Amino acid sequence: MQLIIKGETRYLAELYRRYKQELFGFFYRMTSQAALSEDLVQNVFVRIIKYNQSYHGRGQFRSWLYQLARNVRADLSRGNQQRFQDQFEELSGDDFVSAESNEFNEELDLLDRAFLELNGEKRELLIMHRYQNFTYAQIAELINSNEGAIKVRIFRIICELREIYKKLESERA
């Protein structure tokens, strides 16, 4: 990253190769839309070029990168929360082949719906911990909190997700 700060942008391609899939997964889990997720990944790398002077090398590069990603996501979701719901509704119309896979997919569908009912910050924390394999300490550093508080927040988010899922399941029955 220090070379990129010095203007050696050819090293940006290496960072892109290293982090594009991970960032894509982060955004895809937030938006459920591949093309939008790819655009958001590109926006993160544009911001790396634009804001590279803000990286001082004190913390982990990955934490700084995810701070940029969180900002890109926040810019997207300002005023666009309904967009996430609309995208989910587009996906829910898919047909599935077998009865077994249909039952399994109905459960996944309920989980997706429950997940989308969480606010953006809660979804983000859950994605970072469960899918991006961030440790509690890394998440705490990223959002300027402490590790204990993050453990409690994630536990509460999982409990809330479970309650939303149960509510949706009872409505379905």
**Where are the chain's structural domains?**
1-91, 100-173
At residue 6, does pLDDT exceed 60? no
The residue among 68, 57, 47, 58 whose CA lies nearest residue 2 is 57
| Residues with Cβ within 8 Å of residue 34, at least 6 apart in sequence | 28
Q: Give, as one character, the DSSP assignment of residue 10.
A: G
pLDDT at 145: 92
Reported as a pLDDT band with limits 50, 70 and 90, residue 167 is: very high
pLDDT at 103: 64
CATH architecture of 1-91: Orthogonal Bundle (1.10)
Question: Tens of pLDDT along 97-140?
Answer: 444 456 666 777 788 888 889 988 899 899 888 888 888 998 99
The reply to whether 1-91 and 100-173 are identical in fold is no
pTM higher than the cut 0.85: no
Question: Tens of pLDDT along 33-68?
Answer: 888 888 899 888 888 878 777 776 666 788 888 888
Reading the block at residue 91, the tokens are: 């996906």
Yes or no: say if 116 and 29 are a contact pair by the CB < 8 Å rule. Answer: no
Exposed/middle/buried for residue 97 (C-beta within 10 Å: 0-12, 13-18, 19+)? exposed
CATH among 1.10.10.10, 3.40.630.30, 2.30.30.100, 2.60.40.1180 for 100-173: 1.10.10.10
